[in-house]
Amino acid sequence: MSPAPIKKPKNKPINGGKPAPKQRGWRAMLGGPSFFGNLLTTVLIFMLLMSSYSLVQSFMKPDIDVPLSVVAADVAEGKIKSISVKGDSLDLVYSDDTKKVSRKDPSAGLPETLATYGVTPVQLAKVSITIEGQSGFEFWFLTLAPILLPLLFIVFIFWFLSRQVRGAGMQAFSFGQSKARVIDPADSSQRVTFDDVAGAREAKEELLEIVDFLKSPKKFLDIGARIPKGIILMGAPGTGKTLLARAVAGEAGVPFFSISGSEFVEMFVGVGASRVRDLFQMAKKAAPAIIFVDEIDAVGRVRGAGVGGGNDEREQTLNQILVEMDGFEPTEKVVVMAASVTGDTPVLVRRNNKHELRPIGEIIDRYYASDEDGVEKETSGLDVLGFEKKTSEYRHKARSYFGNSAFKRVRSVFRHRVSEVYEIEYQGGVMRATGNHSVFVTGQQGLATKAVSELTKGDKLVSLPHIANRTGERSVRGHKFPESFSLFLPVYLAFENRDPMVVFAYLFARSFVGNGVSQSTIAQTIGYSKRTVGLWQNTERMPRLLSRASLKHKLPETVEVTPNLMRLFGYYVAEGYSRKEVDFCFNANETEYHKDVMTLMEGIFGIRPDAIRNTTPRAMNIIYYSKPLAGFFEEHCGKGSHNKHIPEFLFNAPREHFIEFLRGYFNGDGHKDKRGRIELTTVSKHLATEILWLAKMHGHQGYIHSFTVKAGRRINGGKPLPATVAWRVGFGKTQNPLDPVPGKESVLRPIVKQVRRIPYSGFVYDFCGCENEAFFGGTSPTLLHNTNRPDVLDPALLRPGRFDRRVTIDLPDRRDREEILQIHARKKPLGPDVALTVIAERTPGFSGAELYSLMNEGAILAARENRTEVTQYDLIRSIEKVMLGPERKSHLLSKKEKELTAYHEAGHALVSSVLPNADPVHKISVISRGRAAGYTLKLPFEDKKMQSKKQFLDDIAATLGGYVAEEMLFGDVTTGPSNDLMVITALAREMVTRYGMSEKMGPIAFGERQLGNEPYSEHVAMQIDAEVSRIIDEAKAKAKKVITENRTALDAIAKELIEKETVERAEFEKILIANGITPKKREEEGVIIAPIAPTQL
């Protein structure tokens, strides 16, 4: 939801005085008093002064009436009576008393000058000549003004600019000064104490030692104790690290200096170190004091792995922090304390040599359980598109320049919840990230990182392709593709792998030919008859699914990936579809493309069309009846207009392969205007994004935009189509990859247009530990800065004498949550029905920041409905909004989809209620929230720090309840359970490899398998996979048994959901009781249960 526009107050009083006068004239046109407005005022004043000076000079300076040659002639003829000499000016008085003015050469006397014009001494003697000295205001003004006025103006401009720059907050002359915000202990409005911090009891007890030292250091020093110089506060986002640091300062009554780690880092070398020195000097002068560095990992990461190698600005800043902390004396009493993008941001990753361009949320979510966050997860074999620095012999080694994009290994991933993000609108796209996330900006000093919250209009982001204008020559830097490329694709693989179990059974039987194992044993193992096994082993017979005997066409076993194959893939993605056959549909007039497709198919696969039909007068279909070929195209390019994609290996193929793919797609779904600009159209945003990324990686600037196709449109005379959203990828005439037009290449640089803070409810994501600390993300690829977590801070920063104490702040338990809610409810009028104890029970795993967001959302809901009190219903709705996102009432389900969703959620709820170790159900709904079509809210009765094997197994079975319900009732499964499957697979694997909960594998913790560092063999890996499959299969069987035995209860729950859309706990328990199922109760209510804790071991 976009924030409401801010209305500017009209004629608002200033400091309680008279209303501010309205600005008129040119100042109002310039938008009020600004730096540039004042500068223009100064220039106008200077021009006015110079004009006045010229005007005065014109009046005071005599005009030259007669040339010197005329004066000489008049003297010779006796017409001049007297001459008065003033410097080089001559005042002439003629015989008739007429006065005129002339001018002589200032380097020569008057007699010598007139003599050169032929005047004799006799003729000159008849004229009265007087010489007068120059003095007075006129002389000195005209002499000194041309020197003094420009000098005074320069002094004035320098003074004016320095005052304006400081006043405007630009701090051009104070780069090295600290930007720390200081909270005075005497300011009661900003003072925070431990009474204002609910929960975190152990952390507060630990920090009381610091308070005692700051209040009375003498008792510590007398006994020889030295208080820690630095403390690291560690905890999940929103647990109150900053608030605790302020509370320490408030309890001790000392100044609190707060600064973000990113504020130390600038593109100018030495600025960060200078700010560190200035900050510590300020703190020492105000001692006792506390310095709080938020997000210290921005400067405190392990040295030698940054953008600038081992000599960048960040490392100089870290070195200065180490020096300053070593310089503390025991009596100085200064303590230092220290404390990411949205899921829809596309990123390009490579896993097991397969490339994926997907939203970052889809990539990272698979590493987490559904409600898990705030924990860093290690990755294995995952690479993300980052960049290589440009090699340079430039003397400023700390500067870094973009060389080319390249895949970089990801050490780990991270996600957490936030309540707001920043939306960055730049030329070419929009992206959203948290305020403390950094992006790369570029300038004459090379690459630099900048926090999103500090971005300003005009900042230049780094994107692909990167355009560098160095030494007058433009350099276009994209991706560095491999010089050699050779790849062969198996043609029958997708066809033969339609049923992996059949393939496994056949290969298993064939593998024991001649090994002495009886056919009966093999048949019993794989579940087939002894006769079938005998035919597979002793004849050429094979399963019908794998047999090629009934196939119409004989195809090659493999085909080489060539530019021609890529052009054929382009035709298929644009105009083809596959079922049991491959069908290309063109306009009947596009005979050139018909011929090209048939030539390519015959040249690559050796087959000709089985049918050519005109299904409509304007359309022609070229059909090949070949199931293997249909599977081949579907495997590499997808199926259906909304699900087609670029072959993944194209992200690693040379330029000519991409160009031919683009040519084939353009021939099918492209358009070129008279100026040479082209546009490609698709209904798949994912496909459009892939094309744009690949084009930019190859150095071509492009753009993407969406539009709505009206209902009733026909393609090649076919059936009327419904309204749909489509996407276009376009290239200018000089950027056209297929046929560029010569000329000056226009470049749309990613310049920031505006940055605004918007509300957000959900996860944000980050890659950690990438080389060069960067990865590309966005619909138009933009270089983002990755994060290193606090556990990878430089060891020198953590040694004794620096940050040698760590205080861990856990998520609040139920009692802490109730106390936090009471604090956030202080200034909110609560209704008589509000029970904060109930709210605390329903919010396990919530951080302090999320509880604040919950109370704030409740107040917003009450105000939106014009009520003066916040009710319990408001807070209950706020819980779901914070956990799952806002309701999507516009996301309407069809009748069939609603029924399927109802049974899916009913399956979850029923299995959770029957199994003894699963969480109790609090609410079920088929109203969409976030990305889910429906949800089942399960919450434990109390917080637990550990979880048992039985709880894990019941949790997996409950999660599979929706999948099983779909499969049993509808005979099919949908994409709905996809997230459920990712969650249970990850959980089952952790049970085997991390928690030692597999009887077969035993109490062993297996490390992550990484390239070059494989802690176990392939055989062990197969055993682990088999155990994971066994756990999931047994859980599925358990869920199926529960649903089968309680089918009437399932139908009743689903029916209630279809009618009411939402079922609360009380209504749900009535349905259970009516069907003979006892609902779960608290231990004190008489029924002992074993709830699942929200956190893992």
Q: pLDDT tens digits for 375-402? A: 778 888 888 888 787 765 544 444 667 7
**Residue where a domain terminates, one of 776, 809, 842:** 809
Residue 1089 in this model has a pLDDT that exceeds 50: no
Task: Give the pLDDT band of residue 12 (cuts 50, 70, 90).
Answer: very low
- 1096 assigned to some structural domain: no
Residue 319 in this model has a pLDDT that exceeds 70: no
The CATH number that applies at residue 982 is: 1.20.58.760
Residue 695 in this model has a pLDDT that exceeds 60: yes
> Is there a single domain that holds both residue 209 and residue 73?
no
Sign of CA dihedral 82, 86, 87, 89: negative
Task: Give the pLDDT band of residue 328 (cuts 50, 70, 90).
Answer: very low
Q: What is the pLDDT of residues 724-754, one digit of tens each?
A: 888 899 888 888 888 877 766 666 778 888 8
- 971 assigned to some structural domain: yes
User: How many domains does the chain contain in total?
Assistant: 8
**Residue where a domain terminates, one of 833, 853, 883:** 883
Beta strands in 154-228 (DSSP E): 181-183
Report for 393-402, 713-722, 957-966: range of highest mean pLDDT: 957-966
Task: Give the pLDDT band of residue 515 (cuts 50, 70, 90).
Answer: confident
Q: Which tokens sit at 205?
A: 């007890």
446-461 as b/e, with b when 16 or more CB fall inside 10 Å?
A: bbbbbbbbbbeeebeb
Round to whole Å and give the CA distance between 710 and 715.
13
Instruction: Please answer whether residues 925 and 908 qualify as being in contact, where contact means their C-beta atoms are separated by less than 8 angstroms.
Output: no
Residue range 912-936: mean pLDDT, rounded: 82
Round to whole Å and give the CA distance between 545 and 783.
48
> Is there a single domain that holds both residue 252 and residue 123?
no
> Is there a single domain that holds both residue 664 and residue 761?
no
> Is there a single domain that holds both residue 232 and residue 362?
no
- 426 assigned to some structural domain: yes
Task: Give the pLDDT band of residue 889 (cuts 50, 70, 90).
Answer: low
The CATH number that applies at residue 326 is: 3.40.50.300
Average pLDDT value over all residues in the chain? 76
pLDDT at residue number 227: 64
> Is there a single domain that holds both residue 279 and residue 226?
yes
The CATH number that applies at residue 434 is: 2.170.16.10
Domain assignment of residue 516, given as a range: 499-538
Residue 568 in this model has a pLDDT that exceeds 90: yes
Residue 173 in this model has a pLDDT that exceeds 60: no
Rounded to two decimals, what is the model's pTM? 0.49
Residue range 319-345: mean pLDDT, rounded: 55
Residue scoring higher pLDDT (809 or 574): 574
> Is there a single domain that holds both residue 855 and residue 904?
no
> Is there a single domain that holds both residue 872 and residue 895?
no
Instruction: Please answer whether residues 680 and 729 qualify as being in contact, where contact means their C-beta atoms are separated by less than 8 angstroms.
Output: yes
What lies within 8 Å, CB to CB, of 674 at 6+ separation is none
Residue 472 in this model has a pLDDT that exceeds 60: no
- 1020 assigned to some structural domain: yes
Q: What is the pLDDT of residues 403-441, one digit of tens each?
A: 788 888 888 888 888 888 888 888 877 888 887 677 878
> Is there a single domain that holds both residue 896 and residue 1033?
yes
- 876 assigned to some structural domain: yes
- 546 assigned to some structural domain: no
The helix/strand/coil state of 759 is: strand
pLDDT at residue number 333: 43
C-alpha torsion angle, residues 855, 859, 865, 869 (rounded to 10): 110
What lies within 8 Å, CB to CB, of 583 at 6+ separation is 576, 577, 621, 622, 623, 624
Task: Examine residue 346 and say whether the peptide bond preceding it is cis (omega within 30 degrees of 0).
Answer: no
Task: Examine residue 465 and say whether the peptide bond preceding it is cis (omega within 30 degrees of 0).
Answer: yes
pLDDT at residue number 388: 80
- 1091 assigned to some structural domain: no
Instruction: Please answer whether residues 1043 and 911 qualify as being in contact, where contact means their C-beta atoms are separated by less than 8 angstroms.
Output: yes
pLDDT at residue number 1088: 32
Q: What's the burial of 221, exposed, middle or buried (CB within 10 Å: 0-12/13-18/19+)?
A: middle
> Is there a single domain that holds both residue 448 and residue 530?
no
> Is there a single domain that holds both residue 595 and residue 696?
yes
Residue 948 in this model has a pLDDT that exceeds 60: yes
**pLDDT > 70 fraction of the chain, expressed in percent and rounded:** 73
The CATH number that applies at residue 818 is: 1.10.8.60
Q: What is the pLDDT of residues 972-1019, one digit of tens each?
A: 888 878 888 888 998 998 899 888 888 888 888 886 654 444 567 778
pLDDT at residue number 417: 81
Residue 312 in this model has a pLDDT that exceeds 60: no
The CATH number that applies at residue 615 is: 3.10.28.10
> Is there a single domain that holds both residue 387 and residue 402?
yes
Round to whole Å and give the CA distance between 817 and 854.
12
pLDDT at residue number 263: 61
> Is there a single domain that holds both residue 160 and residue 287?
no
- 240 assigned to some structural domain: yes
DSSP-H helix ranges across 367-513: 493-496, 500-511
Task: Give the pLDDT band of residue 890 (cuts 50, 70, 90).
Answer: low
**Residue where a domain terminates, one of 883, 910, 930:** 883
Q: What is the pLDDT of residues 634-667, one digit of tens each?
A: 999 998 888 899 999 999 999 999 999 999 999 9
Residue range 57-69: mean pLDDT, rounded: 62
pLDDT at residue number 582: 92
Q: What is the pLDDT of residues 91-124, one digit of tens each?
A: 888 888 888 888 777 667 777 777 777 888 778 7
